[in-house]
């Protein structure tokens, strides 16, 4: 991508910024990023510019007060090629190539000096008040940048304001230890010879490799082609410390004023060292603020999957130990949006709307999992999985209660937002949790039979007409009465494809349960009768329970059908049942 360079009537009235391709940018006196605040002849919104390859299309706003001059004539719309410019008021705009390479073998310097940061610590500033004021603005300049391109552009402009002797500035990065490994991430040249600027790779390699600020001086009396073409006789590179800016450096070059000498202890060397101190403070601030921004991004990423207490511990530096897989007691919850298939078929012509609806509903689910100190384990299309009891251990009762409370609040939130409904399955037991995956890719998840059982319980809701199903371990931990929910045992069920039968219960809102208390008592009696093989008595009780047509008792129809099957087919072999198990409900589908 080429640069667009804006240059006003004063040297400091300037910026150089990469132009994004096929993006319409607005340039004016009050636009957000492409602002030209120094020129009163430029309107608040004056032109648009859009890059296509290496050509930019420029168009003047009709309400702009002053004309745009291109090739000496007024123009409201035109195409701008590389190295061409246009003028508005006292500001010229040039489209310039972005490529800049570091020179591998410039002329050897007459002198080379290296410095630790402490070496320059006690050196006084010239123009102290101005530089202190500029330094006070640097944190805001760095933290307000929306991306690295804007950050580097703003930083380069800021360095030019504080180092007025500089002719050229480049922000570089050493990518490998080999030659030709220097990447020039952003640069600008404001010297008298605006045709050539090439940072010294030897100097950059020396500074970044040694992690010492390094300066080169070239003799004025023996100027080489390298220094002559650039109009420089000194350059220094400041390595940016820290992992957030690994391999970065600030390269700054300039030319001595008049016939000043470059010998040791000369005024020129003193002034350049003052500039180095200023640049070192900038490098330190840059590293610290990028580290902070990276930390904030990491926290935001972790907070998508972990509760705050876990994120705080991960940020303390113990992430490997905390995330390592281990066997623990967990409560696992699967949650699936109901009605998704029907809605998706009706949204075939507006898939982005479907995505928005699904994302909104899944966000409600994950918010409640995290709000109740759970961990987001995975997403499967329109379903989410969360678990409790890791990475920090809780008692089985504590994480079972947290899982069931989250399930209750998920259903409540979905009703309030009039979006999808959901079915949920919760199982508790021993599992392996942590970073699980292959050598190439890992993710935080959970593995074990309990995970499979929770998924089966979620899918069984469709057959029992329930919203929440829990296993016996979970039911035991949360007891009979649980806050605003009532635990209702459904019976012993053998899910399709499983050898082991499991005790299944549902959770009903206590207010709903109170309206059908008699029927729930009858169902409990019928369940006891089934377990004791008193099938005729159970059938009679279940017939009374189902006569009321209460939707909360849809599960009673499943047990009634199971009992009627055993009464009608004493031998049961024709139905594929190899032995008499009237107390176990067999599910024929997942």
pTM equals 0.56
Residue 300 has pLDDT above 90, yes or no: no
Chain centroid to CA 84:
39
**Tens digits of per-residue pLDDT, 67-122?**
999 999 999 999 999 989 999 999 999 998 876 665 655 667 777 788 776 777 77
User: pLDDT class for 288, splitting at 50, 70, 90?
Assistant: confident
Residues of the chain with CATH 2.60.200.20: 3-96
Retrieve residue 280's tokens: 């070192």
Instruction: Return phi, psi of residue 230, to 5°.
Output: -85, -20
Pairwise CA distance, residues 503 & 487, whole Å: 12
Q: If you average pLDDT over residues 375-398, what whole number do you get?
A: 85
**Tens digits of per-residue pLDDT, 457-468?**
999 999 999 999
Residue 351 has pLDDT above 90, yes or no: no
- What pLDDT, on the 0 to 100 scale, is given for residue 578? 42
Pairwise CA distance, residues 493 & 503, whole Å: 6
| Signed CA dihedral, 153, 156, 160, 166: sign only | negative
Cβ-proximal residues to 48 (8 Å cutoff; 6+ apart), any chain:
24, 25, 26, 27, 58, 59, 61
Retrieve residue 225's tokens: 């082609």
User: pLDDT class for 362, splitting at 50, 70, 90?
Assistant: confident
Residues of the chain with CATH 3.30.70.1230: 336-436+443-461
- What pLDDT, on the 0 to 100 scale, is given for residue 177? 57
Pairwise CA distance, residues 68 & 371, whole Å: 56
User: pLDDT class for 387, splitting at 50, 70, 90?
Assistant: very high
User: Are 15 and 6 within 8 A, CB to CB?
Assistant: yes
| Signed CA dihedral, 447, 449, 454, 460: sign only | positive
Better pLDDT: 267 or 59: 59
- What pLDDT, on the 0 to 100 scale, is given for residue 574? 46
Chain centroid to CA 154:
24
Q: If you average pLDDT over residues 271-283, what whole number do you get?
A: 87
How far is it between the farthest Cα atoms of the chain?
Answer: 115
Pairwise CA distance, residues 491 & 501, whole Å: 10
Q: Which residue matches tokens 């150089």?
A: 16
**Tens digits of per-residue pLDDT, 135-159?**
888 888 887 888 888 888 889 889 9
SS3 469: strand
- What pLDDT, on the 0 to 100 scale, is given for residue 420? 80
Any bridge partners for residue 103, and if so which? 200
Tell me which of 104-118, 272-286, 340-354 is least confident: 340-354
Nearest to 201 by CA among 177, 225, 228: 177
Q: If you average pLDDT over residues 346-358, what whole number do you get?
A: 67
- What pLDDT, on the 0 to 100 scale, is given for residue 416? 84
3-96: CATH, from 3.40.50.2300, 2.60.200.20, 1.20.1090.10, 2.60.40.10: 2.60.200.20
Pairwise CA distance, residues 443 & 434, whole Å: 8
Pairwise CA distance, residues 62 & 556, whole Å: 73
Pairwise CA distance, residues 240 & 248, whole Å: 5
Nearest to 326 by CA among 372, 381, 391, 235: 391
Retrieve residue 191's tokens: 């010297």
Domain 336-436+443-461: top CATH class: alpha beta
User: Are 369 and 386 within 8 A, CB to CB?
Assistant: yes
Better pLDDT: 481 or 240: 240
- What pLDDT, on the 0 to 100 scale, is given for residue 49? 95
User: pLDDT class for 411, splitting at 50, 70, 90?
Assistant: very high
**Tens digits of per-residue pLDDT, 520-542?**
999 999 999 998 889 899 999 99
- Angle (nearest 5°) at CA 345 between 344 and 349: 85
Sheet of strand 47-52, all strands in order from the earlier edge strand to the far edge: 24-27, 47-52, 55-60, 77-80
Percent of the chain residues topping a pLDDT of 70: 80
Average pLDDT score over the chain = 83
**Tens digits of per-residue pLDDT, 539-585?**
999 999 998 778 899 999 999 988 888 888 665 554 444 445 777 88
Residues in the chain: 590
> What b/e string do you get for 379-412 counting C-beta neighbours within 10 Å, with b at 16 or more?
eeebbbbbbbbbbeebebeebbbbbbbbbbbbbe
Residues of the chain with CATH 3.30.450.40: 111-294
Any bridge partners for residue 427, and if so which? 332
- What pLDDT, on the 0 to 100 scale, is given for residue 143? 79
111-294: CATH, from 1.10.10.10, 3.40.190.10, 3.30.450.40, 3.40.50.1970: 3.30.450.40
- What pLDDT, on the 0 to 100 scale, is given for residue 576? 47
Retrieve residue 79's tokens: 């195409």
Q: If you average pLDDT over residues 15-43, what whole number do you get?
A: 90
Tell me which of 277-286, 393-402, 473-482, 551-560 is least confident: 473-482
- What pLDDT, on the 0 to 100 scale, is given for residue 308? 67
Pairwise CA distance, residues 6 & 488, whole Å: 73
User: Are 172 and 199 within 8 A, CB to CB?
Assistant: yes
Nearest to 392 by CA among 482, 293, 465, 318: 318
Name the packing angle between helices 554-568 and 535-547 (round to 10°).
150
- What pLDDT, on the 0 to 100 scale, is given for residue 341? 62
Pairwise CA distance, residues 274 & 121, whole Å: 10
Residue 268 has pLDDT above 60, yes or no: yes
């Amino acid at each position: 991508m080429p640069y667009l360079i804006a240059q006003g009537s004063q040297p400091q009235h300037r910026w150089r910024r990469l132009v994004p391709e096929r993006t319409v940018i607005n340039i004016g006196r009050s636009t957000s990023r492409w602002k030209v605040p120094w020129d009163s002849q430029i309107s608040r919104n004056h032109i648009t510019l859009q890059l296509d390859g290496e050509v930019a299309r420029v168009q003047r706003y009709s309400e702009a007060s002053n004309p745009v001059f291109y090739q000496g004539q007024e123009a409201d719309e035109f195409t701008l090629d590389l190295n061409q410019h246009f003028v508005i008021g006292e500001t010229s705009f040039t489209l310039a190539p972005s490529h800049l390479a570091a020179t591998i073998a410039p002329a050897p310097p007459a002198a080379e000096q290296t410095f630790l940061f402490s070496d320059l610590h006690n050196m006084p500033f010239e123009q102290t008040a101005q530089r202190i004021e500029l330094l006070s603005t640097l944190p805001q300049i760095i933290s307000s940048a929306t991306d690295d391109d804007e950050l580097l552009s703003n930083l380069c402009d800021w360095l030019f304001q504080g180092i007025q002797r500089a002719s050229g500035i480049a922000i570089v990065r050493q990518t490998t230890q080999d030659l030709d490994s220097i990447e020039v991430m952003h640069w600008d040249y404001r010297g008298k010879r605006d045709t050539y600027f090439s940072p010294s790779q030897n100097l950059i390699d020396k500074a970044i490799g040694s992690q010492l600020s390094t300066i080169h001086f070239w003799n004025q009396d023996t100027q080489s082609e390298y220094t002559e073409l650039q109009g420089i006789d000194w350059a220094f590179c400041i390595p940016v410390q820290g992992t957030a800016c690994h391999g970065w450096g600030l390269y700054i070059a300039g030319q001595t004023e008049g016939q000043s000498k470059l010998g040791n202890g000369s005024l020129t060397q003193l002034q350049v060292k003052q500039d180095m101190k200023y640049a070192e403070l900038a490098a330190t601030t840059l590293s610290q603020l990028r580290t902070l921004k990276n930390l904030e991004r990491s926290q935001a990423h972790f907070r998508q999957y972990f509760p705050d207490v876990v994120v705080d511990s991960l940020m303390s530096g113990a992430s490997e130990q905390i995330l390592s897989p281990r066997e623990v007691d967990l409560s696992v919850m699967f949650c699936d949006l109901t009605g998704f298939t029907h809605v998706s078929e009706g949204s075939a012509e507006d898939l982005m709307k479907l995505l928005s609806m699904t994302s909104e509903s899944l966000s409600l689910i994950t918010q409640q999992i995290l709000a109740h100190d759970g961990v987001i384990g995975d997403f499967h299309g329109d379903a989410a999985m969360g678990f409790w009891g890791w990475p920090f251990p809780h008692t089985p009762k504590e994480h079972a209660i947290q899982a069931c409370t989250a399930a209750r609040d998920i259903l409540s939130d979905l009703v309030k937002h009039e979006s999808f409904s959901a079915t949920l399955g919760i199982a508790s037991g021993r599992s392996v949790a942590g970073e699980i995956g292959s050598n190439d890719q890992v993710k935080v998840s959970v593995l074990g039979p309990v995970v499979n059982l929770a998924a089966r319980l979620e899918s069984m809701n469709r057959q029992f007409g329930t919203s929440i199903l829990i296993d016996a371990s979970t039911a035991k931990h949360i007891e009979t009465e649980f806050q605003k929910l009532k635990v209702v045992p459904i019976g012993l069920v053998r899910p399709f494809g499983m050898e082991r039968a499991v005790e299944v219960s549902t959770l009903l809102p206590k207010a709903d349960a109170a309206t059908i208390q008699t029927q729930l008592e009858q169902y409990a009696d019928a369940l006891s009768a089934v377990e004791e093989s008193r099938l005729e008595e159970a059938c009679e009780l279940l017939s009374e329970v189902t006569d009321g047509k209460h939707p909360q008792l849809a599960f009673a129809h499943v047990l009634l059908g199971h009992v009627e099957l055993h009464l009608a087919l004493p031998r049961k072999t024709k139905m594929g049942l190899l032995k008499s198990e009237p107390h176990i409900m067999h599910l024929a589908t997942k």
